[in-house]
Structure 1
Amino acid sequence: MWARILKECGNRLSQQTISTWLTPSRAMALHDSGLTVELKNKFTAYYVEQNYLEMLEAVAAQLFERQFKINFIFSDTAEQMNLWQLSAGGGDKAPSGECGNGGSKDAGRSKGRKAGQEKSRKTRLTGSLNPRYTFENFVPGKNSQLSHAAAKSVADAPAGSYNPLFIYGGVGLGKTHLMQAIGHQLLQNGKYENYKICYISAEEFLNELIAAITSGSTATFRNRYRQMDVLLIDDVEFLAKKEGTQEEFFHTFNALYENQKQIVLTSDRSPREIHHLEERLRSRFQWGLVADIQPPEFETRIAILRKKSALDKILIPEKVLAYIAESITGNVRLLEGSLHYLKHYSDTQQTDINLELAEQALKNIFEHEVNHISVEDILNIVSDSYGMPTSAILAQKRKKSFVEPRQVAMYLCHKLTKLSLPETAENFKRKDHTTVLHACRKIARMCEEDVGLKERIDGMIDKLRNQKLKIER
């Protein structure tokens, strides 16, 4: 199956790309939702996931005519075993070839106890949790204080003050980490040993609902989710425009909430910014606490790098940490990725990590500056935020519903591009640059008075900058 996927990818990727990133590799397990594949090291798994996962899953879905999820693991035995044990649908046995037959009887009994504990844990957990996504491994800063404190509170006392807990923020800032950390702590707390916990993405919820409808098992589907004690739903913005799924989730939400069960949700935007979402769901998402995560400031980025390097036992000088933290500002995953690649590069060169080596290794991997943001980028992000086509933003209409998005787009162009006022006016099909000047002054003034608008614009700026951060081969 994996060989067929790779063969089909040969029509889309160069042979050099496939040999560099996708081979050697091997399929480790086939499960209900897809395939688990082993890659040669941690950085390769990270890089392939960031750059080729979407394409690989699309190819697989086309070949096998169903939704297909590919999970990557890497060749570090200890961490691989942890990932395997928590993998949904993986069964109780590890992949063949990962464990030797030797060892003492005590070691065997120890493995047996751990296996028993893991089996008990799995009967209470639906879905899979990344073993690294714990509170101990999360580095809170000013950017995430509220979200971190709220997540800890939920893990200490589910269905208490913050129900539901809604965490939102840009890509790679730690939303999923905090959500899964709640799951880990509850599983480890004997007080909640009988709790049924589910971690699932909104997309997986949709796919399971479709499968249940197709097979005539919707009653089983509903019972499974409505009997949970803690429901952790990732990426709920995916529910937008999915009316049938929204209807089902609405009733699931009500059933859990009325029975005082904990609900935790994450999204890349606040509830009021999720367009094409039923108002009754939007209001329920805001019943508890809505907390955001912003990009980490320099000091927090340094602390994150220190924590990650300690976890992975990477010796790295402070000057190199500062170099990475100054270069990558908007995405925690990219911070981690740079660290992993630097270690890999250091091992390949058989030399210790220093500033010169870091500059040499990372200059071709990460862009140090945000790429040029275009007017088209801005129009697309404003269009998405306000739920209207770009043609409507550019139109001459003077209704308030059209004017505000247009002025916000002009404001962002002035703030994030090098275009002059006349050039911006030309892009918006306006003859007079004073129109742009008026828009910029008006939006700046409104941001001082309207916290909601300021949060919306800050969110758009964050998304624009994050989507321009990319890994280069």
Structure 2
Amino acid sequence: MSVTAQSVWNNCLVFIKDNIQPQAYKTWFEPIQAVKLTDNALSIQVPSKFFYEWLEEHYVKILKVSLTKELGEKAKLVYIIKMENTYGNKQPFTEKIPSSNRTTMKSQEVDVPLNNKNPELRNPFVIPGIRNVKIESQLNPNYSFENFLEGDSNRLARSAGLAVASKPGGTSFNPLLIFGGVGLGKTHLAHAIGVDIKDKYPEKTVLYISAEKFTQQYIDSVKKNNRNDFIHFYQIIDVLIIDDVQFLSGKTGTQDVFFHIFNHLHQNGKQVILTSDKAPVDMQDIEQRLLSRFKWGLSAELQTPDFETRVSILKNKLYRDGVDMPDDIIEYVAKNIKTNVRELEGAIISLIAQSSFNKKEITIDLARVIVEKFVKNTKREVSIDYIQKVVSDYFQMDVDTLQSKTRKRHIVQARQLAMFFAKKFTKASLASIGSQIGKRDHATVLHACKTVDNLTSTDKQFRKYVDDISKKLSV
């Protein structure tokens, strides 16, 4: 029986498979192809330079042992690195793969018995010129479950986060998509999950990154012609946390590369955690194939915290900062700042600062001054209830009439305007808007918004309605 490159490599794979974890074998050895056997040199093709560097960094010993068993002490291994050529045929390589004019082949001979040279990995988080193969998580340890207080507004998302942290990749919450308005704690919760995973599973590679930074790294990888390195870097992550995933809207190239990374991670039991300012159903300019994957796991909404939760958040903040404050002042702040947690904590910090700098006692009067200034200087997010009241008053009807099932034209238009402004002025999901305005579904809200857009551009009287109500809500 003749010895071929494939038969030698198959025997090597049998030995390697018995000596490493199944997941590692699947990720790092299944993609390799045996190309040719010349004397004692076996040529194998790997998908990218990053892939080759990772093999040399982590598997050089087992490759040496397996190949020596098959070809003797003089065995050599030649890597053929398959690289994307996005610049046509201008790359200075001599060999080409016949089946594709978009790729080129570059042979690089590596003598297996050489000591491991610890090659530099293509880690997008490493400053160029500095050797560092360790992947830093980019997590903020100050964001923990301990200081993410539970309430009715966040119970589902927090519980799902704890479940994922206990068993990353092993629950049905994969991906876990956390969505909600500004300042409600999406980023805090995403970090808390990552921090908890690192504590429980130190060997896991956890990475937090904003969608904006991910996009920039992808653009850089295309410019430098190392897109494959970029993909393989992200494919080795055990827990990938992407913040503000709605930022990918309209960026087709980044969406495409993220689609392939997501598929690889999901199929290999790795955990994906996403945050967004809106539910998948409300995301625009995101490819359907990506949106469908966002819905595979759990989408958990963070809502505006209720009064009791706001009080608890303030008390916890004061306790952590070692500050005493009377309950009536805490309750006053909680009653008057309702929009989000960030504003709530900002107001209490301002109150402490004013008291400290001006050597004033913290009183209700001081709290009133601070809260009034704070609310005035902070962009107010109007509530859906307030929008319904403004629209109802404008059309001289009550809110019950606005929400009713009647199909009278003027009432239907008022209801559609309320839905339109709820989508424009709040971060609520379409489903949430529909349920609060007459128990409608998200499709009704979507239709209402389109109708308002169409009538605004074709009907002068209707455009006046929109302008008038918009001014009232912007005051």
Per the normalisation by structure 2, the TM-score is 0.57
Corresponding position of 1:274:
283
The AA in structure 2 aligned to 1:439 is: Q
Residue 172 (str. 1) matches residue 183 (str. 2): yes
CA distance in 2, matches of 1:320, 1:184: 33
What are the Cα deviations for residues 309-342 of structure 1, in whole angstroms up to 9, with x where unaligned? Answer: 1111121111111111111111100011011111
Q: How does 1:28-107 map to 2 (within 5 A)?
A: none
Corresponding position of 2:159:
149
CA distance in 2, matches of 1:130, 1:235: 16
Alpha carbons of 1:416 and 1:218: their partners in 2 closer, same or farther (altered >3 Å)? farther
CA distance in 1, matches of 2:191, 2:474: 25
- Asked if the contact 1:135–1:181 (Cα under 8 Å) also holds between the matched residues in 2, the reply is yes
- 1:365 is paired with a residue whose SS is helix
Residue 188 (str. 1) matches residue 162 (str. 2): no
The AA in structure 1 aligned to 2:336 is: S
Residue 137 (str. 1) matches residue 137 (str. 2): no
Query: What stretches of structure 2 of length at least 5 have no aligned partner?
Result: 1-124, 398-406, 420-433, 448-468
CA distance in 1, matches of 2:271, 2:439: 35
Alpha carbons of 1:133 and 1:412: their partners in 2 closer, same or farther (altered >3 Å)? same
What are the Cα deviations for residues 67-96 of structure 1, in whole angstroms up to 9, with x where unaligned? Answer: xxxxxxxxxxxxxxxxxxxxx7799xxxxx
- Asked if the contact 2:181–2:302 (Cα under 8 Å) also holds between the matched residues in 1, the reply is yes
The AA in structure 2 aligned to 1:420 is: Y
Give 1:220 deviation, angstroms.
1.6
Give 1:355 deviation, angstroms.
1.5
Residue 233 (str. 1) matches residue 242 (str. 2): yes
Which of 164, 169, 194 is matched with 1:159 structurally?
Answer: 169
Which of 253, 257, 272 is matched with 1:244 structurally?
Answer: 253
Alpha carbons of 1:372 and 1:180: their partners in 2 closer, same or farther (altered >3 Å)? closer
- Asked if the contact 1:270–1:290 (Cα under 8 Å) also holds between the matched residues in 2, the reply is yes
CA distance in 2, matches of 1:256, 1:90: 26
Which of 421, 433, 438 is matched with 2:412 structurally?
Answer: 438
Alpha carbons of 1:214 and 1:285: their partners in 2 closer, same or farther (altered >3 Å)? same
Which of 323, 339, 352 is matched with 2:332 structurally?
Answer: 323
Corresponding position of 2:219:
210
What are the Cα deviations for residues 216-255 of structure 1, in whole angstroms up to 9, with x where unaligned? Answer: 2212211111110000001011111111111000000001
Report the number of matched residues: 299
CA distance in 2, matches of 1:163, 1:286: 9
CA distance in 2, matches of 1:259, 1:469: 49
CA distance in 2, matches of 1:248, 1:289: 22
Corresponding position of 1:126:
137
CA distance in 2, matches of 1:248, 1:257: 14
Give 1:352 deviation, angstroms.
3.0
- 2:134 is paired with a residue whose SS is helix
Q: Which has the higher contact order (CA 8 A, sep 6+)?
A: 1
Corresponding position of 1:337:
346
Alpha carbons of 1:447 and 1:351: their partners in 2 closer, same or farther (altered >3 Å)? closer
Alpha carbons of 1:187 and 1:329: their partners in 2 closer, same or farther (altered >3 Å)? same
CA distance in 2, matches of 1:147, 1:257: 20
Between Structure 1 and Structure 2, the one with more helix by share is 1
Alpha carbons of 1:268 and 1:275: their partners in 2 closer, same or farther (altered >3 Å)? same
Which of 307, 313, 318 is matched with 2:316 structurally?
Answer: 307
What are the Cα deviations for residues 42-89 of structure 1, in whole angstroms up to 9, with x where unaligned? Answer: xxxxxxxxxxxxxxxxxxxxxxxxxxxxxxxxxxxxxxxxxxxxxx77
Alpha carbons of 1:422 and 1:448: their partners in 2 closer, same or farther (altered >3 Å)? closer
Alpha carbons of 1:185 and 1:355: their partners in 2 closer, same or farther (altered >3 Å)? same
- Asked if the contact 2:336–2:371 (Cα under 8 Å) also holds between the matched residues in 1, the reply is no
Corresponding position of 1:199:
208
CA distance in 2, matches of 1:371, 1:421: 24
The AA in structure 2 aligned to 1:247 is: D
Which of 269, 273, 280 is matched with 1:264 structurally?
Answer: 273
Corresponding position of 1:395:
none
Give 1:445 deviation, angstroms.
8.9
Give 1:194 deviation, angstroms.
1.3
Matched-pair identity in %: 35
Corresponding position of 1:16:
none
- Asked if the contact 1:225–1:252 (Cα under 8 Å) also holds between the matched residues in 2, the reply is yes
- Asked if the contact 2:186–2:275 (Cα under 8 Å) also holds between the matched residues in 1, the reply is yes
- Asked if the contact 1:413–1:419 (Cα under 8 Å) also holds between the matched residues in 2, the reply is no
The AA in structure 2 aligned to 1:360 is: V
Which of 220, 224, 243 is matched with 2:229 structurally?
Answer: 220
- Asked if the contact 2:339–2:380 (Cα under 8 Å) also holds between the matched residues in 1, the reply is no
Corresponding position of 1:365:
374
CA distance in 1, matches of 2:440, 2:175: 25
Alpha carbons of 1:445 and 1:199: their partners in 2 closer, same or farther (altered >3 Å)? closer
The AA in structure 1 aligned to 2:179 is: Y
Alignment RMSD (CA, Å): 3.7
Per the normalisation by structure 1, the TM-score is 0.57
Give 1:354 deviation, angstroms.
2.2
CA distance in 2, matches of 1:142, 1:265: 21
